[in-house]
Amino acid sequence: MNYALLAINYKVSGDGLCTATVFGRATGGGRMLIGNNVDMLHVLLGALLIIAVRGQDGCEDRDYKSEIGLDFRITCTSNAPGNDIRNNPASSLESCIDQCAVALGDSNSDVACRAVSYNVETKQCYRKDGNVTSNFVFEADTITAIGDAAPFQLDASSSPCPDGNGTVHTDDNGMDYSVICGTFWSGNNFDPGDEGEGAYQPFHADTLNDCMSYCSANAPLCYGVRWEQSATNFYRNCWPKKQNATHADSKLAPDSFAIAAVGRLQVNSTCTGSDKNFTASNGATLKQLCDSSADGPDLEVVHAGNYEDCMDKCATYKSNDGGNTYCGGITYQPDASQGFRNCYLKYALSNVTAMPSWHIATLETRGGEQDDAAGGQSQGEGTTQNNQENGSASQGNEAPAQEEEGSSKTWIAGAVAGPVVGLAAIAGLVFWYHRRKKARAPASNHQDHTDHKPNAADTYPLNAGAKYYSPPMDHGYKYDPAAITPPPPFSPYVDRSPLVEMPQAGRHVVELPTASNVRHELHS
């Protein structure tokens, strides 16, 4: 039978046996006799292998995770004909896949890219829709990659629609949204290339709540989201909005698989107590200053509906890691234009400057909850100084945990004490034996050594209340130079003749001259 050779699957087993499978189709043209002609088979096989390796630079079937997180399965020497969306140049296969995964669109008629075929010779990337199957055809210089289908499947259990249409949902950060089912919200998307809006890249969210929480966690203020759950949507299915749905550039249109969540933000910008004290719910007092801002490291950024609420959050702040750091002041933006989380709990405030639409407050006296969290310390002289002192203060409620850790380490040491003592006894006998042998040698001058310098195991961290503080093994003492008794003078194990100082007679002692050997001191 006549064949036109299409492909050869070439495999070499561990024992060196070569197996080849020939794929072909009948033709009516020229003759190519394969049959049992082993030499011809090897010639054709070598030629095809050279073409494949040359075209794909050692391609291997594998999985690849795109930059945005969508997984793809790569199949070498294969093409998926048809179902093209568009094609464009790409410097590599990985670049082609990433272009597919992050493809953007703002129209409910756009089709998502779900697969690619990449030609390594022409460096063309062919993006394909979700109708691509794994029924590939052999093509030596082409590689095909199909995206994971699971993220594109509609999960009705994760959607609040249709029963939740018109209801209010609260995300993980506390922001409320009105949910509008079956609605495609176009326009007023953040510009990923804009420096001030770059935090809001459209991204993939498995649930509407994830999408809403993404909206409220970044800056500037996000007014709502469009979340798509269609099997034909883009992998980037969460679109934060920089204007309200009633804005002129916003458009709402029916769409069976899209949901619009419109933010419900209510804030109170009133500040009437400048230079007056505010008393928090736990009795702490803070000094208010309106229309001002300040610098300082953030302990936490949260949302507050009004100025007083933000001050109260500072007064009752407790460190998430169980430490004793307390809030020393706040900066608050009433209109939340820099983001839904508009209350900045600070370690301390510095560089206070006048600034409209911002308010600040500094802690004057702590309340009961703060005293408990800080180990019962008094306010002292200034917020910054107190926070620094807290670093070396006792841990109060954390003390039992540290004792428990020390006890466990002592138990571990006890478990190995027996073998260690046995080895020490053997080493002592060997040492004693060698000392006995050396005792017969003439005695030599020896200067007693009484210095003691602590090593790393003798000392404790400067800050015993540090987050990752771990006490050393129980030595029975903490390093204290005044409390250490110098070791006794060295004495041999056997008697020896008394030491005799050399007589001075016959010796000429001369001090080194300084005139010719100039000494230099380091200048401070």
Instruction: Identify whether 220 is preceded by a cis peptide bond (ω within 30 of 0).
Output: yes
Distance of CA 513 to the CA centre of its chain: 65
Please name every residue paired with 353 in a beta bridge, in sequence order, or none if there are none: 293
Helices and strands in the chain: count of H runs, count of E runs: 8, 23
Residue 181, CB-side half-sphere exposure with 13 Å CA sphere: 13
d(CA 329, CA 383): 9
- State the maximum Cα–Cα separation within the chain, in Å, rounded to a whole number: 124
What was the pLDDT predicted at 195? 74
What was the pLDDT predicted at 304? 92
Whether residue 283 sits in one domain with residue 187: no
d(CA 298, CA 424): 54
d(CA 137, CA 487): 85
Whether residue 42 sits in one domain with residue 137: no
Domain end among 335, 357, 390: 390
Whether residue 200 sits in one domain with residue 223: yes
Q: Tell me, what amino acid is at 352?
A: V
| CATH code of the domain containing 320 | 3.50.4.10
Q: For strand 251-264 and strand 238-241, is the pairing parallel, antiparallel, or unpaired?
A: unpaired
Structure tokens at 203: 């991204």
Q: Is residue 252 part of a domain?
A: yes
Whether residue 170 sits in one domain with residue 243: yes
What was the pLDDT predicted at 104? 65
Cβ neighbour number for residue 289 with a 10 Å cutoff = 22
Q: Is residue 303 part of a domain?
A: yes
Residues in Cβ contact with 409 at an 8 Å cutoff, skipping those fewer than 6 apart: 471, 473, 474
Distance of CA 206 to the CA centre of its chain: 20
Domain end among 345, 370, 390: 390
Whether residue 110 sits in one domain with residue 32: no
Q: Is residue 270 part of a domain?
A: no
What was the pLDDT predicted at 483? 46
**Cβ proximity of 184 and 253 under 8 Å:** yes
Q: Is residue 460 part of a domain?
A: no
Give the Cα-Cα-Cα angle 397, 470, 478 (nearest 5 degrees): 95
Whether residue 115 sits in one domain with residue 133: yes
Q: Is residue 332 part of a domain?
A: yes
Whether residue 353 sits in one domain with residue 385: yes
Q: Is residue 423 part of a domain?
A: no
**Cβ proximity of 315 and 349 under 8 Å:** no
Whether residue 361 sits in one domain with residue 299: yes
d(CA 93, CA 120): 8
Q: For strand 238-241 and strand 115-119, is the pairing parallel, antiparallel, or unpaired?
A: unpaired
Whether residue 338 sits in one domain with residue 384: yes
**Cβ proximity of 289 and 352 under 8 Å:** yes
Domain end among 37, 56, 75: 56
**Following DSSP, what letter does each residue of 421-481 receive, concatenated?**
HHHHHHHHHHHHHHHHHHTTSPP------------TTT---S-TT-TT-------SS---G
**Cβ proximity of 117 and 101 under 8 Å:** no
Chain position carrying tokens 């709502």? 224
d(CA 469, CA 340): 35
Structure tokens at 193: 């290339």
What was the pLDDT predicted at 127? 94
H/E run at residue 40? helix 38-56
Whether residue 73 sits in one domain with residue 51: no
Whether residue 312 sits in one domain with residue 260: no
Residue 277 phi, psi (nearest 5): -90, 145
d(CA 290, CA 275): 8
Residue range(s) defining the domain that contains residue 162: 156-264
Q: Residue 300 in 3-state DSSP?
A: strand
Whether residue 369 sits in one domain with residue 299: yes
d(CA 456, CA 479): 10
H/E run at residue 211? helix 208-216
Chain position carrying tokens 């890691």? 321
Per-residue pLDDT of the chain (524 residues; tens, 9 = 90+): 333 344 444 444 444 444 444 444 333 333 343 444 445 555 455 555 444 444 455 789 999 999 888 999 999 999 999 999 989 999 999 999 999 988 765 455 567 889 999 999 999 999 998 889 888 999 999 999 999 988 777 666 778 887 889 999 999 999 999 999 999 998 888 887 787 777 788 888 888 999 999 999 988 999 999 998 765 667 888 999 998 888 888 888 998 889 999 999 877 778 877 788 999 999 999 999 999 999 999 999 999 989 999 999 999 998 876 666 889 999 999 989 889 999 999 999 999 999 988 999 999 998 876 555 544 443 333 343 333 333 333 333 333 333 333 433 333 344 444 545 556 666 666 666 666 665 555 544 444 444 443 333 333 333 344 333 333 333 333 334 444 445 455 444 444 444 444 555 555 555 545 444 444 444 44
d(CA 426, CA 5): 80
What was the pLDDT predicted at 25? 39
**Following DSSP, what letter does each residue of 222-270 receive, concatenated?**
--EEEEE--TTS-S--EEEESS-TTSTT-EEEEEEEEEEEEEE---B--
**Cβ proximity of 64 and 98 under 8 Å:** no
d(CA 230, CA 284): 52
Chain position carrying tokens 């939340």? 336
d(CA 379, CA 397): 19
Structure tokens at 54: 């040359």
**pTM (two decimals):** 0.53
Considering its fold, how many domains does the chain have in total? 4
What was the pLDDT predicted at 218? 87
CB neighbour burial string for 416-454, b if at least 16 within 10 angstroms, e if fewer: eeeeeeeeeeeeeeeeeeeeeeeeeeeeeeeeeeeeeee
